[in-house]
Amino acid sequence: MTILNQSLHWMQWPENRLKVASLILLLTLSACDPFPGSKQQATSTTTEKTRISFWNGFTGPDGQTMWEIVRQFEADYPQYEVEMEIIPWSTYFDKLMVSLGSGKPPDVFILHENELVNYVLQDAIRPLDDLVNGPQGVPVSDCLSSIWERVRIKVPGQSEANIYGIPLDCHDEAVYYNKDCFRQLGVPLPEQLDRDNFFHLARQLTIDQDKDGRPDQWGFVFGGSVRRHLYTLTAQFGGQFLDRENGICLIDQPASQKALQILYDAINKDGYMPNPIHDGSNLWQGFLQGRIAMYTDGIWMMNGMKKLADFDWGVLPYPQLGDQKAVWASSHVLCLPRFSDTIDGEAAWIFLTYLSNHGVDWSDGGQLPARYSQLASPDFTQKEHYPVFAAQIPDIIFGPNDPNIIEIETRMEPCLLSAMSGQQPMLKMVQEIKGSVESILRRGVD
Amino acid sequence: MTTEYKRSKNLQSLIHFSYTVPYLLLFLCWLVIPIIAGFLVSLTKWTFISGKYQLVGLKNYVDAFADELFLKGIQNTIYYTVMTVIGGNLFSFFLAYGLTRVQRFRNLFRKVFFIPLLLSVGITGIMWRWLYNTDFGLLNYYLGFFGLKNTNWLGDARISMPAVALMAIWGSCGFNMLIYYAGIREIPTELKEAATIDGAGGFYQLWSIILPLIRPKILFCLVMSTIGSIQVFDRAYMLTGVGPYFANYTAIFHIYYQAFRYFRMGYASACAFVLALLILAFTSLLFRFLGKHEEYY
């Protein structure tokens, strides 16, 4: 009771109440700094080097390769300091989008070639024509023409296409194979895979030793995203996935149907591939453990493979199962933001061209250079296995170049996986993909 | 009542109100203004990066209700919510009830059950992914002792959502358990003793004394669980992504993808408001059935 009385008594003093109110007001106001930029300005005036912020999603061993190139750049250009931020691809685009919208984007950033068009239509990317054709430009004729076409984009309302990115690399797919699996069965190593030898070889290398109906060794795996194999095989049969001009998804056309049939049969009829629905996360591990003889995946897996001393492996070109050669590929593209409060355009361009000029060094991270001269340089051609990927460059195809491609692919991948694994009827999935893709195409870009 | 007394009262009220000012400022800046802004955005086609926008009225809401994937997301969200809210609260309640009945190691159990809540969803997601692994997972390993074949927990569209719900129940049971535990402990022992003297058994006491008396706690736990479950994203994202054939594609997935991957801010905002209405509907139902205030003691 005494304490209660004392507190009431205390509250009755007007001057004390005023003091409390003033204190609260002071605390509230002190939380609001009227000069938010003052500290930043003080810091920036003390730094002598020009800072270049560079964002990418190279979270694997490729990040280490990029670090080395960046350090070399800083040594070659001591007036610049690069702040490289490696962000997992899963959250990279969230952060990039917010930074672009808020006017504080990185000075240089990476996109995949298929993502570029959407960012361009969002007015997020700076056209680079003046820089490319300027005194410190990029030799356009030396860049891989197929990728170069992907970075030249015509925005509605403009008369000509502009250059919106500089290709850093090219990454296509091939077949990694375990030589021991071939040796143990006495199967000669093929020089290439085509429809004459592929299916026979895949079945031959599938072994069920204990006869429990579940193979102990699988012959072949179409690894990674199913859609990449759909694009590749559809192109091999002379078709394409989208007819953008007419807003039609061509997945129900014969070329795509043949491609889907191969993917379906691999699991459900021929049985040389484990069901990715059951073992999806373990398939690459299964290959490294010797349970899978051949595995298709991108060149980016090379970086990890090189470190496996006890694993005897090789690389074959992607199988030609259709009438013509084709293999899916993509590319990392270097971009500059259109709107930025912080960018030092000259420094960013110098750094960007430096990366582009060091494509051979970057290939150590598991990539192909995006320039003809770099592909022909002895430093690159003497690398083991890389030439197999490089030899496919004339046959590379890219995914559909639609501003909504990320939505389209996110929408169709689970359907493809369900159809391929036999969980859902193929016909139903084909109709569902066609319906949803055409609906997205009709809607266009918001 | 003198004028001086009135002035004194007003000043006192002003001082009391000033205590809430910091919170109200934050509430205004981080909740009220964003909600209003979000609603305005939902009426537009907004290019976030360039800042260009176009007023489209209720078109985004019409599109949301016509979007099969969003409806699938809502359906999955409700499915998940029902599983986790009912299953999770039952599990938490019985854990709490069991704890009040044991004497030894009570504190230890209480801490053990609470630990999952302290772990990040990223860590528990990876852990459960391994537990659920078809070939090497512990779950299939132990089920194998009972002669059960390997189950594809995360790859089978029929059971992948219950698998996510099971992880969520495990992860959040500690919080509700503490609330229920505190509620049961608050019940005066005289009531239980009187019931025992009158011949009421354990089940009768549970049904007629404990459950009615902890009804405010049940309401609180149900409401909080419902809100949390409808907003499910991280657990499903960590375990399976959208899951086999969109089995784990929840409404928040849809909003996240539309906003941050496809740049459709206006449409994503409209979907978010539809989801908010769903939360409102669920919580209103809970308040209607469980919110009657009755004093028992």
Tell whether A280 and A429 lie within a shared domain.
Answer: yes
Choose the weakest-confidence range: A161-165, A211-215, A280-284, A427-431: A280-284
Tell me what the mean pLDDT of segment A290-313 comes to.
91
Q: Does B262 touch chain A (CB under 8 A)?
A: yes
DSSP string, B166-231: HHHHHHHHHHHHHHHHHHHHHS-HHHHHHHHHTT--HHHHIIIIIHHHTHHHHHHHHHHHHHHHHT
Tell whether A225 and A348 lie within a shared domain.
Answer: no
Q: Does B151 touch chain A (CB under 8 A)?
A: no
Q: Does A14 touch chain B (CB under 8 A)?
A: yes
Write out chain A residues lying below 8 Å of B266, CB-based.
Answer: 446
Could you tell me which residue, A37 or A359, shows the higher pLDDT? Answer: A359
Tell whether A113 and A215 lie within a shared domain.
Answer: no
Write out chain B residues lying below 8 Å of A420, CB-based.
Answer: none
Structural domain of A345: 49-168+331-370
Q: Does A122 touch chain B (CB under 8 A)?
A: yes
Cβ contact A100–B49 (<8 Å): yes
pLDDT tens figures, B254-285: 999 999 989 899 999 999 999 999 999 999 99
Cβ contact B68–A436 (<8 Å): yes
Tell me what the mean pLDDT of segment A384-403 comes to.
96
Per-residue pLDDT, B201: 87
Tell whether A225 and A314 lie within a shared domain.
Answer: yes
Q: Exposed, middle or buried: residue A225 (CB in 10 Å: 0-12, 13-18, 19+)?
A: middle
Question: What percent of chain B has a predicted confidence (pLDDT) above 90?
Answer: 68
Choose the weakest-confidence range: A6-20, A311-325, A406-420, B32-46: A6-20
Could you tell me which residue, A189 or A39, shows the higher pLDDT? Answer: A189
Extents of the domains making up chain B = 3-42, 61-290
Confidence band for A281, pLDDT divided at 50, 70 and 90: low
- Our CA-based measurement puts residue A364 at a distance from the nearest CA of chain B, in whole angstroms, of 30
Confidence band for A23, pLDDT divided at 50, 70 and 90: low
DSSP string, A125-172: B---HHHHTSTT---GGGB-HHHHHHHEEPPTT-SS-EE--EE-EEEE
Grouping H, G, I as helix, E, B as strand and the rest as coil, residue A379 is helix
Q: Which amino acid is at A206?
A: T
Tell whether A310 and A206 lie within a shared domain.
Answer: yes
Per-residue pLDDT, A25: 55
Write out chain A residues lying below 8 Å of B264, CB-based.
Answer: 446
Q: Which of residues 223-282 of A touch B (CB under 8 A)?
A: 277-282
Tell whether A164 and A177 lie within a shared domain.
Answer: no
Cβ contact A414–B69 (<8 Å): no
Per-residue pLDDT, A43: 40
Minimum CA–CA partner of B26 in chain A: A28
Q: Does B55 touch chain A (CB under 8 A)?
A: no
Tell whether A335 and A417 lie within a shared domain.
Answer: no
pLDDT tens figures, B222-231: 999 999 999 9
Write out chain B residues lying below 8 Å of A21, CB-based.
Answer: 14-15, 18
pLDDT tens figures, A218-259: 999 999 999 999 999 999 999 999 998 899 999 999 999 999
Per-residue pLDDT, A285: 85
Per-residue pLDDT, A214: 81
Among candidates A94, A123, A436 on the partner chain, residue whose Cβ is nearest the Cβ of B49: A123
Tell me what the mean pLDDT of segment A279-302 comes to.
87
Write out chain A residues lying below 8 Å of B136, CB-based.
Answer: 282
Cβ contact A404–B262 (<8 Å): yes
Does domain B61-290 match CATH 3.40.630.10? no
- pLDDT for A67 beyond 90: yes
Cβ contact A282–B133 (<8 Å): yes
Give CA–CA dist A338/A116, Å, rounded.
13
Residue A259 lies in a domain: yes
Residue A308 lies in a domain: yes
Q: Does A446 touch chain B (CB under 8 A)?
A: yes
The answer to whether B76 and B249 are in contact (CB under 8 A) is yes
- pLDDT for A47 beyond 90: no
Tell whether A282 and A410 lie within a shared domain.
Answer: yes
Tell me what the mean pLDDT of segment B55-80 comes to.
96
The H-or-E segment that residue A317 falls in is strand A313-317
Write out chain B residues lying below 8 Å of A411, CB-based.
Answer: 69
Cβ contact B50–A31 (<8 Å): no
Cβ contact A277–B267 (<8 Å): no
Last residue of a domain, one of A352, A370, A388: A370
Tell whether A197 and A55 lie within a shared domain.
Answer: no
- Mutation target to probe the A interface, by most A beta carbons within 10 A, among B16, B19, B49 is B49
Tell whether A221 and A275 lie within a shared domain.
Answer: yes
Give CA–CA dist B104/A414, Å, rounded.
50
CA angle in degrees (0–180, nearest 5) for A22-A27-A29: 95
Tell me what the mean pLDDT of segment A303-316 comes to.
89
Choose the weakest-confidence range: A45-49, A370-374, A424-428: A45-49
pLDDT tens figures, A99-146: 998 888 999 999 999 999 999 998 899 999 999 999 889 999 999 999
Residue A312 lies in a domain: yes
Number of domains in chain A: 2
Residue A245 lies in a domain: yes
Q: Does A124 touch chain B (CB under 8 A)?
A: yes
- pLDDT for B63 beyond 90: yes
pLDDT tens figures, B104-146: 888 898 889 999 999 999 899 989 988 998 877 899 999 999 9
- Mutation target to probe the A interface, by most A beta carbons within 10 A, among B20, B252, B263, B264 is B263
- pLDDT for A19 beyond 60: no
Choose the weakest-confidence range: A348-362, B84-98, B236-250: B236-250
* CATH number of residue A423's parent domain: 3.40.190.10
Tell whether A177 and A296 lie within a shared domain.
Answer: yes
Grouping H, G, I as helix, E, B as strand and the rest as coil, residue B294 is coil
pLDDT tens figures, A1-14: 444 444 444 445 45
Tell whether A178 and A140 lie within a shared domain.
Answer: no
Q: Which amino acid is at B33?
A: I
